[in-house]
Amino acid sequence: MSFELNKRLAAKREPLATSTTIDPVTASIIRGALETVCFEAATHLGRAASSPIINQSNERNASVIDAHGRLASGSIGTPHLTFVSQLAVRYGLEKFDEYDWGPGDVFVGNDPDFGGGHLPDYNVYAPVFDDNGELILVQALQAHQGDTGGKDPGGFTLEATDIFTEGLAIPCVKLVHRGEKRRDIIKLIERNNRFSSFAGDLAAMISGVQLSVRLLEEVIRKWGADVVKAAVNYNIDHTEKCFRDEVAKWPDGKYEADVFIDHDTQGTKDVKVHVACIIEGNQLTVDLTGTDDRQELVGVWNTFANSRSYIMTQLAAAVDPSIVKNEGMFHAVEMVIPEGTIAHPPINKPAALGSFHPACEITEAVCLALSAVVPERSAPQVYKIGMPNAVIGFDQYGMWMDQGVDARSMDVSAVQGIDGWGSCPAALGNLLLSEAEDAESRFPIINISREMTMDAGGAGQWRGQPGSLNVKKVLEPTMAMAWMVSADHPMRGVCGGDDASAYSNHFEVGTPNEYKIDLTVKAQLPAGAVIAYQHGGGAGFGSALLRDPEAVKEDALDEYISIAGARERYGVVLTGSLDEYDIEVDVAATEALRQEMKAARAAQGAN
């Protein structure tokens, strides 16, 4: 059932029926109106929601879907969510008559097997009809919720072997009927969530789409339904043309890459994602044949909708950024995602952790494959963290959970011409990481330190940003959970750049009981326990032996790299010391060492 449904949901949809022709300027103005409405919806949710993962971190997206289920417009919070919503809405549209769609209705879905991402990503959506009762558009809001009512808080059960362990799965249910809330249904959904703040989040999502429906109705009244439909058709066709024009510039060929996850949550090693990008004229095919399909794997199953979205997120980064993100991108790309693989699992497989891995390995593999074609736009849209240290406890209000989405430096890779910079990978878009003061005001924790680790960025002609070591103390007895990956297989370097540094994690630091987390952990921590999470750095771009020695010197002065690291990784001989701040490049020694290292690498390559 799941495979057949996914094939049906992903099938190309016809344009909206209209006899109106439209000029590019009017189509662009209407597109701007739809984008503005999406922005209004996302902003409303961010301001009205109760939980910090939405009102502080911005982990939400808004999108407008047309009456045929095509992505018409969006407002990007986290890029990977941009291309997911339309499949969940398409499932709802299949139930148009059965579920009695009408003006004033609001629906919700989160089921990974019915067009959704993973269970925490709730998708609330509402139809937009014209004054004659014709469905024109659907407004959707997608946001990550902190719990799903499953076995473990947060919805991330490390040993889950089915979706039911992870929480409440909702294919599609109506929350509001003709403007009246279905309070029995809303109460049922609220009851299946551990957080008291969830009721506020759900109410904010409902009111957000209701606001957007009113705004979209105004757009339709102003321009007329036929003109709006013509604008949607035009913009989707224009995006497809622009995308194909980009692909036509690329050399024909088959470009492949393999990326591995260290292990699943039970320790099965080297879980593989294989990608082949095939270019024939203006046609791009992304084929995941060869990706791992071992059915005994646990915790590494990415939903079909997510796999499509993560592929497209990387492809969107590989083309002209001015190309509008809508359904036209999917029209321009053929995706082959074999059934039964970790990128297209059988029905009822767990999906919560799969939205991290293999989702990000899919994206990374597409980036590596295309780096041979468009190196100048090969910015990996990934986050290699497994599962952050989730710290969980109880107070007079019920359960609280510090999800570990802290400000940190991780996975910030270099691109051609630019070193990795900032503390957050481009893949996270407008996501804001938690401030120490905010987290400490909500939870009984103290953030002891957050600092970049010297030599923790991938070397390259342009270097990756070092990863940070985040150290935290719990002030009360708590439970903590984590899943560690990207130690054996960290972020891959691009175009000859070095791989990023590895992730690591220690609990009860500084005591005789200190231990390292190599796989997973679900531990009871005593009051005063210290946990230390070393985040992986960004990968390098281009050979490190091509980096300007003066740039290496500046990195040493800024404490990104050590003097020893400059010599061993870049072939740059530095004199002086950091303490005296008198570091200089020994030009002659550097030239000699680099020649020696190049010769050694050439000999190694020949062997």
pLDDT at 432: 75
The span from the CA of 151 to the CA of 160, in Å, is: 9
Q: Quote the tokens at residue 540.
A: 């390098």
Reported as a single tens digit per residue, the pLDDT across 265-281 is 999 999 999 999 999 99
Reported as a single tens digit per residue, the pLDDT across 81-96 is 889 999 999 999 999 9
Q: How confident is the model at residue 79 (pLDDT cuts 50, 70, 90)?
A: confident
pTM for this entry: 0.95
Average per-residue pLDDT for the chain: 94
Reported as a single tens digit per residue, the pLDDT across 420-459 is 988 778 778 777 777 788 889 889 999 999 999 999 999 9
Question: Average pLDDT, stretch 134-143?
Answer: 97
Q: What is the DSSP string of 388-451?
A: EEEEEEEETTEEEEE---BS-------BTTB---SSS-GGGTT--PBPHHHHHHHSSEEEEEEE
Of 118-122, 437-441, 478-482, the least confident: 437-441
Look at the block and give the residue holding tokens 């240290």: 389
Q: Which residues contact 213 (CB under 8 A, 6 or more apart)?
A: 126, 127, 128, 139
pLDDT at 51: 86
pLDDT at 394: 86
pLDDT at 423: 77
Q: What is the DSSP string of 128-146?
A: EE-TTS-EEEEEEEEEE-S
Reported as a single tens digit per residue, the pLDDT across 140-190 is 999 999 899 999 988 889 999 999 999 999 999 999 999 999 999 999 999
pLDDT at 53: 81
Question: Average pLDDT, stretch 333-355?
Answer: 96
The alpha carbon torsion through 53, 59, 63, 65 (nearest 10 deg) reads -80
The span from the CA of 74 to the CA of 124, in Å, is: 14
